[in-house]
Amino acid sequence: MSKDKYFIIDFDSTFTQVEALDELGAISLQNHPERSQLLDQIKEITDSAMAGQSSFSKGLTERLALLQAHQNHLPQLISRLREKVSESIRRNRDFLHQYADQIYIISSGFKEFITPIVTEYGIKEENVYANTFKVDAQGNLVGFDEANPLCLDKGKIRLLEQLALPGDVYVLGDGYTDYEIKEAGLANKFYAFTENVVRDNVVAKAEHIAPTLDEFLYQNKLPMAISYPKNRISVLLLENIHPQAVELYRREGYQVETISGALSEEELCEKIKNVSILGIRSKTQVTRRVLEHANRLMCVGAFCIGTNQIDLNACLEAGITVFNAPYSNTRSVVELALGEIIMLSRNVLDKSNKMHQGKWDKSAKGSFEVRDKKLGIVGYGNIGAQLSVLAEAMGMEVYYYDVVEKLQLGNARKCHSLRELLEKVDIVTLHVDGRPENKNLIGAEEFAAMKDGVIFLNLSRGHVVDIEALVQSIKSGKVSGAGVDVFPEEPATNSDPFESELCGLPNVILTPHVGGSTSEAQENIANFVPNRIMDYINSGNTYGSVNFPNLQLPELKNAHRLIHIHANVPGVLASINQVLAQNQVNILGQYLKTNERVGYVITDIDKAYDKQVVNDMKQVPHTIKFRILY
Ligand SMILES: NC(=O)c1ccc[n+]([C@@H]2O[C@H](COP(=O)([O-])OP(=O)(O)OC[C@H]3O[C@@H](n4cnc5c(N)ncnc54)[C@H](O)[C@@H]3O)[C@@H](O)[C@H]2O)c1
């Protein structure tokens, strides 16, 4: 521990998220008829004083007069402030305790409420410098000790001169009076603390910005609660990802940039540098070339189901985890499929079109209930299985075919081949994934195998159906109605035209790939993906990752977690354990999972360890990535 550094921390809007006198006003003026005007006035004076635009002592006098506060208000104020200690201060309690001798709270606020708060974080009472209230006989807070330099303009400077700290002085604060300490030559460094409030004129003058205490500690190589300041994690979100995702990442302290459209490979190669988390939807291609330009990328979030647009192996080899949202829009697709099955069974679309043209064509011909009809689901995955349950609830007889063994839900019946299913059912609906082998899974031969007058739906992937064969089958009457949501070629944007031979055919519902496009689904996705990614960053948990070995880890308790990603070749685990043994590290738990390309080893170790371990771990042959969680 270096003894020659002193850390001066401001209280209002730095140690706590708020200005204490504003909070006191909210309490003391609770029932005052002009409460909101008075509070605005107090806030204005505070801001003006903090920005260095008005006399501090005058402002303090004015604020106290407006506050009409009593000493009985203080306990309530203290408990409010206790709840509003800044997040990064709260999580770095260990640093405050460990460096208590070197930390000073210097504030133009009042000791009466500052001391009880900061001492809970290990700050020494004798290191708290602040004003004190003058109280009248009735207990009203009527003034302050005028002999205290902190009630005066440039009070912090005067105090620092008196203290004459024998070493380097680092100041962390949000206000102009904090900056003035450095300006007066009494501090070596001033960090504008912007976690709670950003004062433009202070930030403009500051040579260092600390968006959190973590950043301050990181820059000064001091011990901190998290392995990496979260504001150093930069997130790039493309393709209009739902604002909820932006909000979640910002709340976590990450830096977020959003771009409304997709980027070309060229543009993404340019943009990806320094990005830690990339969020995309279906249009952005994450190629090997893009990854070669990424120097900090940890995760790719696919804010959709499909991940064909991402080179998963290239990500794996670079130690980049990919997460998607496999179930978030399942229900939406199922509801659309069900709706279309009913609409097509009743020929609603054509009837409705005629009505719009003023034609009344009342007839039951070609209209059927869906009850007791045989529904054939090809691909009994998340969507297929969910559809199976809801279709049965409507009285349909469900058949399914899947290339892998699946749990049969309800009374659904399994078919042993695609052909068996096609021959058996009245309605065929595709819910297979987009693997290349599924190209033209349904072509002329398959349509020929279906019952005459079959209803056909594809809400999976466009290339799965031979469109020409579908068109012919509709024209010949083999297919009596079709619902198509996905196409082999889809327009890149809403302003590009859509062209298909399916256009204009009878009883055909065409939708622009909107099966999963509902508000609920977008919100589900926007919650699901960031939560998986933040869990991975904070705990190493890869559960649900599309490309990484899936490890669900216990919570990290009183330990450090070493996260090692390496090429899956024999002997790496032995080398890791050799490094740990050589450094006399006490292993509390170890978890390993591999896939054909990478190995993922998590080692929880004792809090006490030599920094050399980190260097040695990075040197283990075949290491792809290494990080440590505190
Ligand atoms: N229209 C939309 O807006 C929309 C929205 C979401 C998902 N989707 C698409 O829906 C499809 C299904 O999604 P999911 O979440 O249910 O996927 P999933 O991976 O859970 O299920 C796919 C299932 O298909 C099976 N399968 C693959 N090839 C097959 C084949 N040739 N024959 C039979 N079974 C086969 C797989 O074994 C798996 O069980 C995907 O293609 C997805 O891209 C479309």
Q: Does 543 reside within a domain?
A: no
State residue 227's pLDDT score: 65
Is residue 521 one of the residues assigned to a domain? no
Specify the residue with its C-alpha closest to ligand 1, atom 11. Answer: 460
pLDDT at 1: 44
Which residue stretches of the chain have pLDDT < 50?
1-2
Under 8 Å between Cβ of 336 and 511: yes
Say whether both 335 and 441 belong to one domain. yes
The pLDDT value recorded for residue 75 is 97
- The answer to whether residues 281 and 350 belong to one domain is no
Taking only the tens place, the pLDDT of each residue in 75-89 is 999 999 999 999 889
Rounded Cα distance, 542 and 386, in Å:
25
Domain count along the chain: 4
| Residues 153 and 19 both lie in one domain | yes
* d(C-alpha 512, C-alpha 528), whole Å: 24
Instruction: Give the CATH number for residue 572.
Output: 3.30.70.260
Query: What CATH number is associated with residue 36?
Result: 3.40.50.1000
Residue nearest to atom 10 of ligand 1 (CA): 460
**pLDDT reported for residue 57:** 83
Atom of ligand 1 nearest to the CA of 385: 16
Residues 260 and 375 in one domain: no
Q: What is the CATH number of the domain that holds 411?
A: 3.40.50.720
Distance CA 404, CA 30 (A): 66
**d(CA 259, ligand 1 centre) in Å:** 29
Does the CB atom of residue 341 touch ligand 1 within 6 A?
no
Same-domain status, 189 and 249: no
Q: Give the position, in ligand 1's atom list, of the atom nearest the Cα of 401.
A: 33
Range list of H helices, 464-518: 467-476
Q: Return the best residue to mutate from 283, 383, 510 for the ligand 1 pocket (most ligand atoms within 8 A of CB).
A: 383
Domain end marker among 301, 323, 345: 323
Whether 538 is in a domain gets the answer: no
Give CA angle at 388 (386, 389), nearest 5°: 70
Regarding the beta carbon of 516 and ligand 1, being less than 6 Å apart is answered yes
- Please identify every residue annotated as catalytic: 461, 490, 513
Same domain, 356 and 415: yes
Q: Are residues 317 and 412 in the same domain?
A: no
Tokens of 127: 């290191």
Report if residue 534 sits inside a domain.
Answer: no
Q: Is residue 503 part of a domain?
A: yes
Tokens of 267: 């543009």
Mark which of 220, 242, 259 sits at the end of a domain.
220
Instruction: Kindly state whether residues 567 and 431 are assigned to the same domain.
Output: no
Give me ligand 1 centre to Cα 511, in Å.
Answer: 18
Residue 522 lies in a domain: no
Whether residue 194 sits in one domain with residue 312:
no
Give the number of the atom of ligand 1 that is nearest the alpha carbon of residue 432.
Answer: 24
Q: How far is CA 472 from CA 223, 349, 467, 480, in A?
A: 70, 20, 9, 12
Cβ atoms 248, 530 nearer than 8 A: yes
Give per-residue pLDDT as tens, 199-250. 888 999 998 988 889 889 988 988 877 666 676 789 999 999 999 999 899 8
Ligand 1 atom 31 nearest Cα: 438
> Do 193 and 255 reside in the same domain of the chain?
no
Boundary-marking domain end, from 186, 220, 254: 220
Residue 525 lies in a domain: no
Residues 34 and 154 in one domain: yes
- Are both 144 and 288 inside the same structural domain? no
Range of the domain at 278: 233-323
Quick check: is 227 in a domain? Answer: no
Ligand 1: nearest atom to the Cα of 433: 41
pTM: 0.66
